Structure 1
Amino acid sequence: MEDLQNMNSSRRSFLKSTGHLLIGFNLLPLTFCQTKGAPSEIPPYTGVPLRPTIDNKLIDSWIRLDAEGHLTVLSGKQELGQGIKIALIQIAAEELDIHPDRCHIINSDTGQTPNEGFTAGSNSVEGSGSAIRQAAAEAKYHLLKMAAQKWNVSPESLRVEDGVVVTNSGEKVSYWELLEGKFIEERISGDIKPKKPEDYRYVGKPLHRDDIRKLVTGESHFVHDLKMPGMVHARVLHPPSYDATLESIDLNQVEALPGVLKVIRNGSFLAVVAEREYQAVKAREMLKELAVWDKSPITTLPDQLVDNVLNTSGNPDEVEVSPGIAELISKSAIRHQADYFRPYHMHASMGPSCAVALWEPNLLTVWSATQGVYPVRDSIADLLTLDKEKVRCVGVPGSGCYGHNGADDVSGEVAIIAKEFPGKHVRLQWMREDENKWEPYGTTMAFRLSGGLDSDGKLLGWDSIVWSDSHSTRPNGSGGSFIAARTLDPPVEFRKGGWSGGSHRNGIPEYSFEAKQLHLFNYDGPLRTSSLRGLGAYANTFAMEAFMDELAHKAGKDPIDFRIKNLEDPRARAVLEELAQKTNWKNRSKSANNGFGVAYARYKNATSYFAVLAEVEIDKAAKSYKLKKLTGVIDSGLTINPDGLKNQTEGGMIQSASWTMLEEVQFDEDGITSVDWNTYPILRMKYVPEVEVHIIDRPETKPMGAGEAAMGPVAAAIANAVFNATGSRVRNLPIKPEKIDWESVN
């Protein structure tokens, strides 16, 4: 495997791999398919890609048996650290009976992989996995037919051992010998049945992830590690705040600095390019000192935010309506209403966003950590008025990506800069300040929940009002979606959208209420927002499961029993029952200094089931608390790789704990003040709780997305544990010690 730093950007190296397995494919799930791959495995090329087709319905777009005895899976989805590479290799290897060690994977490259939109929504294994499974099963079917014709035997009499077809008499031929570098021109019928779970050899096993080794040893892995021949380095000076415009600047001093190759100004867009990275950093510092800006103040400040959200004008979207619900709740034996609030959250990626670009006469190539290479390619083409086929976007993992962070914007900016340096690889990396101030945040949200129960604790009515800003302003074909586009002269228009869907994700309870209602107000707030892990599901579940805990408390019911009693789905009940058993819930050790909280959700009400117990310990004298342990139970259907599922769930639990206990974007009238790790603290290693995850494997069912399942339940479980320990209910995130009413602690 080639080191990422030694990637050869020649077109010729790509064209050497010409052996394909091509089968026409007309199965709908492939539209949503996902795969994984490391750019270090397949060198990038700079010419126009030569492929038989870019049609997603053809197997050549997904699976290739090359002339060297390997299987390569291709996908338009990005590896974000969620482990889809090994999972999808396991699926393809399983169906084709090829050892995973002979398999490679390429992901997110508009020159080689299918157009699959964004890597989002926890649907990588669920969508891609089922499609790749079917594609591989049908590929094997046709290969066995070829072998059967060779020996004049029935396909059913043949077996496959690591890509080698074997007869009962011991004759052998490999897949690759059968193909001889040719295509198999066959349409996939969708009628071939994949393997039965009881026959699996690789699926369900904790196979090794090579990217973890690279992360631990510090090998080249991220887009930040890319080194190209003759590469130059760039930095951008962003405006000090939203809507600020550049009044004046003297560029002569900056252009005279050692190593500076060029200073680019277009409207309020400022960039500097230098021979070495440190020279670019120093030049940016001087640009910052010299630039004179006309600033526009932020008018809605943090202490006004809750009221501003709740006073959103206009009529709400009626997501679900239940006439007469107000009367139903008002006549219930037990009634309750409460408001909840979530602040703005950052992605807080460990590595500031980075991208590399090469401008050539007939092709612009951008190496990016974006979650959507095709949408970003189309947006760059629109921004620069290029034919989109003249832009190639290659996905390379970024150092922390949980949605729409700065990766897309830095890709647009490096394309603008590369145009000024034809024939040169240009590397642009944001500073920490850039990342924190200019990335799109997870939006603030507010909730007003009302509910009614009968005297036995049976749920009757649920009425919810949700206020939320947009959860998706990603680049999707329009150049105006890049922040740089809005600073150019003339600026490119940006039309904000992305309300509704993500805002009420998990907003309607699965619980067996007789009537449910949800109204959504679309809030247009002071800060830039877009997709962050889970979208609205995190805050909706926090509010819902904290409210369910309050209802259980009012009814005098055990929190787990209360939930189980009001759930009809046996799999939902099963994760709660397993949680109770694994944590010894009925006999838990409760003291004056600790507290326990539970929560449950099925992500999107359609994918993975997750239940969690949080344990906190309080210090009344110090007026502080500590998260001691999180125990989770997850049901994601068929488990492809148990280690990968645990990794994803554990990571989600820890990140959610950080959001819930600490994180909040701070700003004033001059702009964002959370500019570094001191002003935007995240959970440090010494405060990470003990984390335990249990898997309910269901091989008879389809695999389901799990990457975002833990986010909301963990938040509610922590809130419920704090209440259990202190008697103080904190409804406004983050749950900081100063928000707890310590006088209420017995």
Structure 2
Amino acid sequence: MPGMLHARIIRPPSYGSRLIRFNEAALRSKFPAIQKVVVDGSLIGIITKDEYTAVKIQQNGSEFGEWEEKTPMMPESPERLQEYLRKLPAKTQEVKKVGTIDFSSQADSTIHSASFYKPYIMHGAIGPSCSIAIYKDSRLEIWSHSQGIYPLRTSISKMIGVPEEKIHVTGVPGSGCYGHNGADDVSAEAAILAMAMPGVPIRLQWSRADEHAWEPYGSAMIMDVQAKLNSKGMITDWKYELWSDTHGTRPGGSAENLLPAMYIQKAMTGKPAGFSGGAYRNSEPYYKITNLQVDMHFFNGPLRVSSLRSLGAYGNVFAIESFMDELAEKAGKDPFSFRIMHLEDKRAIAVLSRLKILMDKHGIKPATGIAFSRYKNTASYCAVGVQAALGKSGEILIEKMFSVIDAGEAINT
């Protein structure tokens, strides 16, 4: 754009850090080409004519600020993190209850339990987020690769106090992801900088470090499962407990869901609003079990989190299907037969049966793994199989993969 300037954000050392003072004079002395320095609470933005200068300032900018730093927000090792998450205050919700579970020991029964863990996962966008904004004639124009420009407009309006009808957000192609990356946040930051320097377009480009450190991650999850088998190898009792943070904090019209809202002078410090139900998606097994209980424990975790592909279904299906394999071994059944004997849905049985035919046809060796799921327990059916091996250095090698899907009839409308 004609006259466009380039911007970067000088980030705090950690989420909870707060700016005590910033030496703008010293920064300008070292980088005289700076066009504008914006300090709003603990948010520091710099605007320059060329992008290279903006990058150099961002790389060195932290030395000009003094921050009140918080203690580390989370343990460093995965093992200690799991312990830490279990001890966080949690709000418990009963997701599903059928019959009455009974895990008292009986002569003809087998009780088995296991615990599974999904770590925090970043989206890892190949292209970092970017946005352009201009504030002119009391109107704010923003170009964004957000997945929801109207909710973003509402959120930005609440954050900066500009009426929605004075904000226009244009959706443009940009770095995307299956879930929620930094697209909304960079647009909100660009809006703040544009308001501070009216009349010229401001392009704010996140670095890869910005994207990977400050984007909302997919929440860590802990899944504890316990089941009882009778003498015929049937599951009679099932208990599933899940610990997780929310899995959806897109802007949704809530200013506190935007990253800069945490740091501006009029900071919005409430926990970001989100879709909590996504955490227990697919936590209820699709298998027929007489006595079943599923409980959800919502915690407020140490990292910023939001939507990652399939929300909680990713961790829940992994835990349930891994546990089904363990139960099949305890029952002395092959994984296919064990799953099918617990299914009533003919379409579910069909995808598993077809998968077995495919794998038998290709002469699959014993080192195999299978899994089944119906997304949200209401949508498409999928059964997958993998033949794997251990390499000479102990690495896992994927040799063959199979998938059978029933998505229903596809209608071109």
- TM-score category (smaller protein): over 0.9
Q: Partners in 1 of 2:15 and 2:106 — Cα distance?
A: 45
2:260 alignment partner AA: A
- Which residue in 1 is equivalent to 2:61? 287
1:278 alignment partner AA: Y
2:5 alignment partner AA: V
- Which residue in 2 is equivalent to 1:538? 314
Note closer, same or farther for the CA distance 1:506–1:327 as it changes in structure 2 (3 Å cut): same
- Which residue in 1 is equivalent to 2:401? 630
Note closer, same or farther for the CA distance 1:345–1:496 as it changes in structure 2 (3 Å cut): same
Note closer, same or farther for the CA distance 1:332–1:399 as it changes in structure 2 (3 Å cut): farther
Alignment of 1:538-577 (within 5 A): 538-577=314-353
Q: Does the CA contact (< 8 Å) of 1:329 and 1:461 recur in 2?
A: no
- Which residue in 2 is equivalent to 1:366? 142
**2:26 paired with 1:250:** no
2:7 to 222, 234, 240: 234
Q: Partners in 2 of 1:494 and 1:328 — Cα distance?
A: 44
Q: Partners in 2 of 1:343 and 1:305 — Cα distance?
A: 9
1:300 alignment partner AA: M
Listed one character per residue, the Cα deviations across residues 460-480 of structure 1 (whole Å, up to 9, x for unaligned) are 221101111111222122222
Shift in Å, 1:544: 0.3
Note closer, same or farther for the CA distance 1:640–1:356 as it changes in structure 2 (3 Å cut): farther
- Which residue in 2 is equivalent to 1:272? 46
Q: Partners in 2 of 1:495 and 1:507 — Cα distance?
A: 25
SS in 2 for 1:579: helix
1:412 to 188, 191, 194: 188
- Which residue in 2 is equivalent to 1:95? none
Alignment of 1:302-701 (within 5 A): 302-303=76-77, 304-313=80-89, 316-322=92-98, 324-327=100-103, 333-498=109-274, 500-584=276-360, 587-590=363-366, 595-619=367-391, 622-639=393-410
Q: Which has the higher contact order (CA 8 A, sep 6+)?
A: 2
Per the normalisation by structure 1, the TM-score is 0.53
SS in 2 for 1:466: strand
Listed one character per residue, the Cα deviations across residues 513-537 of structure 1 (whole Å, up to 9, x for unaligned) are 1122101111112111111111100
Note closer, same or farther for the CA distance 1:418–1:299 as it changes in structure 2 (3 Å cut): closer
Q: Partners in 2 of 1:242 and 1:376 — Cα distance?
A: 22
2:334 alignment partner AA: D
Q: Does the CA contact (< 8 Å) of 1:329 and 1:452 recur in 2?
A: no
Q: Partners in 2 of 1:231 and 1:497 — Cα distance?
A: 34
Q: Partners in 2 of 1:580 and 1:397 — Cα distance?
A: 42
Q: Partners in 2 of 1:391 and 1:609 — Cα distance?
A: 43
Q: Partners in 2 of 1:260 and 1:347 — Cα distance?
A: 33
Q: Does the CA contact (< 8 Å) of 1:499 and 1:522 recur in 2?
A: no
Note closer, same or farther for the CA distance 1:640–1:229 as it changes in structure 2 (3 Å cut): farther
Q: Does the CA contact (< 8 Å) of 2:229 and 2:237 recur in 1?
A: yes
5+ unaligned residues in a row in structure 2: which ranges?
Answer: none
Shift in Å, 1:483: 1.8
Note closer, same or farther for the CA distance 1:507–1:471 as it changes in structure 2 (3 Å cut): same
Instruction: Report the RMSD for the aligned CA atoms in angstroms.
Output: 2.2
1:243 alignment partner AA: G
SS in 1 for 2:27: helix
Listed one character per residue, the Cα deviations across residues 404-429 of structure 1 (whole Å, up to 9, x for unaligned) are 21111111101101112323221111
Q: Partners in 2 of 1:584 and 1:495 — Cα distance?
A: 51
Q: Does the CA contact (< 8 Å) of 1:328 and 1:460 recur in 2?
A: no
Shift in Å, 1:438: 0.9
5+ unaligned residues in a row in structure 1: which ranges?
Answer: 1-227, 642-702, 704-746
SS in 1 for 2:292: strand
Note closer, same or farther for the CA distance 1:495–1:309 as it changes in structure 2 (3 Å cut): closer
Q: Partners in 2 of 1:475 and 1:554 — Cα distance?
A: 46
Note closer, same or farther for the CA distance 1:379–1:464 as it changes in structure 2 (3 Å cut): same
Q: Partners in 1 of 2:82 and 2:361 — Cα distance?
A: 37
Listed one character per residue, the Cα deviations across residues 529-583 of structure 1 (whole Å, up to 9, x for unaligned) are 1111111000000000000111111111111222122111122122212222222
Larger mean CA deviation between 267-276 and 330-339 belongs to: 330-339
Note closer, same or farther for the CA distance 1:628–1:252 as it changes in structure 2 (3 Å cut): farther
Shift in Å, 1:314: 5.1
1:612 alignment partner AA: V
Note closer, same or farther for the CA distance 1:382–1:610 as it changes in structure 2 (3 Å cut): same
SS in 2 for 1:498: coil
1:638 alignment partner AA: E
Same amino acid, percent of matched pairs? 41
Q: Partners in 2 of 1:247 and 1:426 — Cα distance?
A: 27
Q: Partners in 1 of 2:192 and 2:65 — Cα distance?
A: 20
Larger mean CA deviation between 249-258 and 269-278 belongs to: 249-258
Q: Does the CA contact (< 8 Å) of 2:228 and 2:238 recur in 1?
A: yes
Whichever of the two has the greater Rg, that structure is 1
Note closer, same or farther for the CA distance 1:511–1:347 as it changes in structure 2 (3 Å cut): same
Alignment of 1:72-91 (within 5 A): none
Q: Partners in 1 of 2:272 and 2:25 — Cα distance?
A: 37
Q: Does the CA contact (< 8 Å) of 1:481 and 1:494 recur in 2?
A: no
SS in 2 for 1:532: coil
Note closer, same or farther for the CA distance 1:499–1:323 as it changes in structure 2 (3 Å cut): farther
Q: Partners in 1 of 2:107 and 2:73 — Cα distance?
A: 42
